Chain A
Amino acid sequence: MSPTPSSQWARIGLLVLAVGGAGLLGGEAAAQEAPSAPGVVSSTIQVSRDAAVLELELTGGRSLELALRNQRVEVNGEEVGTYRRGDALDRSWRDLLERAMDREAAALAELLLAWEPPEGEAGRRLDAALEAALREGAVPAEVQAAPRADRDSISKLENRIAELERLVRDLERNRAQRAASDRGIRPTVAIVGLFEQLWRGLRNILAVLVNYAVLAGLGFAIVYFGRRYLEGVADTARHAPVRSGFVGLAALFLAVPAFILGIFVLIVSIVGIPALLAWIPLFPVALVAVAFFGYMAVAHAVGEALAERRLHGPDWLHRGNSYYYILTGLGLLLAPFLASAVVSVAGHWMSPIRVMLGGLGIVLTGIALAIGLGAFLLSRAGTRPLTRSPSLEPDLGPTFEEEAHV
């Protein structure tokens, strides 16, 4: 597409401004006083993997930048040669800069002047620039580099022009798109939107599945290492769910006061102050760990309850194995989240159902956490599980004694 007349005029204006600005700056540079006594006022040395740069601020307001940067040898930003990483020039220059880092600012010139560059044109140019700046107090004419402040200004101006040109191009592109849409060539936004929606839905499903896999993995680890305790907590959660839930809720509410009280007690005891360093981070960690353990126990209990039901289903559903209990229990607890993710594929019109299912998942998780925490506490970490007592066996009705007439 050819540029419009207005944008061409804008470019011409910018170029005139740039040339004028550069001329003005160049004039200012020429008007500067000739240096008399060379010396280093300040220095900046930067060494990284891709660059080794020396910036000098010299007396009389002059400056010099010598750099080995990205295979280019530069004097005040102008390329005077090339180098390869690790070649003789690179090594020698980096070695010089390393030594210069430890040298006093006033004694830096002496060190730099003593530098002997390795064979090669680029090294000779660097050395010549140093010699010229530090002995004669001038940057060599052969590199024809503008003083640093001016160069910065010009480069800023050039950057600004490039930015403005980019803006002009963007504007032109936008206008072309608007014109195209006016002619009925509107991009197929609806199709793109559909794919985005599908992708978002699939991403949600994947996130739930990943969560499920991670939780199942952690659950397996718990079964592997502490099956006895997990089953103890799970039994308690199954046989006393209401009691466990209330105890868990009470524990959650009391956790913060207990935490603060613990801090207070340790402080008042004076000798317990060092223990604060353990108490403050470990208490919340322990609470989270216990709640997580309880959640897994509830998943185990749910899985076990499901397996015990005489459902008509696949055989694996009825297997009596803690790993299967964890898998099926977690699956049930996460099912609302998965359903919510599946519904989200359908798009915004299903949002109420998606939100409802997500809310159900959150409520279920909260209940499971409360029951799990309570069961953990009631069963003393699963060591003393609560099981159904004989008195709670179903009442079979009154019994009658038969009279015996013998």
Chain B
Amino acid sequence: MSRRGFLAATVAALIVPASAVAQENWSSKVVKRAYAGEARLMVEVEYGAGQLRVNPASAADLYRAAFRYDPDAIEPVTSYADGRLKISATSGAKKLRGISNGGQLDLALGRSVPVHLKLSYGAAEADLELGGLRLREARIETGASSTNLRFSEPNPETCEYLEIHAGAASFNAYGLGNSRAKQVRLEGGVGHVVLDLTGDWAGDMRVSVEMGLGSLTVRVPRTVGVRLQKTSIFAGVTSPGFSKRDDAYYSDNWGSARHRLTLDVEAAFGNVDIRWVD
């Protein structure tokens, strides 16, 4: 047997059993509830691995959760009572490979009700569109994941806080100005983080970032006045257009800007890049 043939046979021997195991039996489950004048909706989601999507639902719906899952691996559980929605679709280590290959949760939340959101997910690919939701507060915890968070439309409510705990992750947040969050807190472990603060600002915002290892890019609208306080151990912080006064850096428009951003950055290892956006 030639060397190439030997190699091909070895690779085939390794691949064939794996593909044979990968035959999942997919099921679908859709749970939805009509909006009936609820005062608020508190949402808790625990999702193990797979694809996670969150979007606004129509005004007539309170929520809609659509699962695609392997019933041999997980059983999605939803419960709702008194404005409190709990969704869980986790499996531990069991058949994690199968879940991550095709499992999916599409969650749509009503636009008519104030939402308190708590999302926890592990090895997931998350696409979160929270624009247009009446978001009062949100907490997002991720594991080894890739997340795109967007606020494409302004939040009709004031969001008290937006808290993000990103593990070993790629986390991109766009249009955070639309979130109308008073306070944004990001704790990043290892990975690449983008915080895009563009959008329709309605008030001042305080953003605090704690980065472990990785790169952080903060995109700030040029119309917003910025006060930057940075603490870094072995991280390089690039922040053009700032002047230092006392223990902080200020943008030139700090005194005249209609909206102000207070940005606290603590970074251990890596690169922090603050960019102006027109």
Contact = CB atoms under 8 A, between A and B. Distances in A.
Interface of A: 40-49, 57, 100-101, 104-107, 221, 224-225, 263-264, 267-268, 270, 273, 276
Contact of A40 (B25, B31, B34): B34
Interface size class of B (residues with CB under 8 A): 20 to 34
Contacts of B80: 42
Contacts of B60: 104-107
Given A45-B28, A47-B28, 10 more contacts: A44-B78, A45-B30, A46-B29, A48-B27, A48-B71, A105-B33, A105-B34, A107-B60, A270-B236, A270-B271
A273 B270 contact: yes
Contacts of A270: 236, 271
17 contacts: A42-B31, A42-B33, A44-B78, A45-B28, A45-B29, A45-B30, A101-B66, A104-B58, A105-B34, A105-B62, A105-B64, A264-B269, A267-B269, A267-B270, A273-B214, A273-B215, A273-B270
Interface string B11-54: 00000000000000101111111101000000000000000000
A317 B64 CA distance: 72
A104 B59 CA distance: 10
A25 B61 CA distance: 32
Contact of B31 (A44, A225, A263, A267): A44
B213 interface: yes
Given A48-B25, A105-B60, A273-B271, A42 B234 contact: no
B36 A46 contact: no
B29, B32, B213, B234: residue with the most chain A Cβ atoms closer than 10 Å: B32
Given A101-B66, A273-B270, A41 B27 contact: no
A225 B71 CA distance: 44
Contacts of A264: 234, 269
B34 A268 contact: no
Nearest to B62: A105
A96 to B, nearest CB: 13
B3 A224 contact: yes
B28 A41 contact: no
B28 A46 contact: yes
Closest 9 CB pairs of A and B: A48-B27, A105-B34, A42-B33, A101-B30, A106-B34, A45-B30, A267-B269, A105-B32, A46-B29
Contacts of B270: 267, 273
Interface of B: 3, 6, 10, 25, 27-34, 36, 58, 60-62, 64, 66, 71, 78, 80, 213-215, 234, 236, 269-271
A87 to B, nearest CB: 20
Given A40-B34, A270-B236, A46 B27 contact: yes
A41 B35 CA distance: 8
A267 B213 contact: yes
A275 B28 CA distance: 41
Contact of B27 (A47, A106, A221): A47
A371 B3 CA distance: 29
A47, A48, A268: residue with the most chain B Cβ atoms closer than 10 Å: A48
Nearest to A271: B271
Contacts of A101: 28, 30, 66
A49 B27 CA distance: 7
A51 to B, nearest CB: 8
B240 to A, nearest CB: 16
Given A48-B71, A105-B61, A267 B234 contact: yes
Given A104-B61, A273-B215, A42 B34 contact: yes
B36 to A, nearest CB: 7
A5 to B, nearest CB: 42
Nearest to B168: A280
B22 to A, nearest CB: 17
Contacts of A104: 32, 34, 58, 60-61
A273 B235 CA distance: 11
A104 B64 CA distance: 9
A42 B269 contact: no
A47 B62 CA distance: 22
Contacts of B236: 270
A106 B58 CA distance: 11
Nearest to A53: B29
Contacts of B34: 40-42, 104-106
Contacts of B6: 221, 224
A268 B233 CA distance: 11
Given A101-B66, A224-B3, A270-B236, A41 B215 contact: no
Given A49-B25, A104-B61, A43 B71 contact: no
Given A48-B27, A104-B61, A225 B3 contact: yes
Contacts of A49: 25, 27
Contacts of A43: 30-33
B272 to A, nearest CB: 11
B31 A221 contact: no
A47, A49, A100, A105: residue with the most chain B Cβ atoms closer than 10 Å: A105
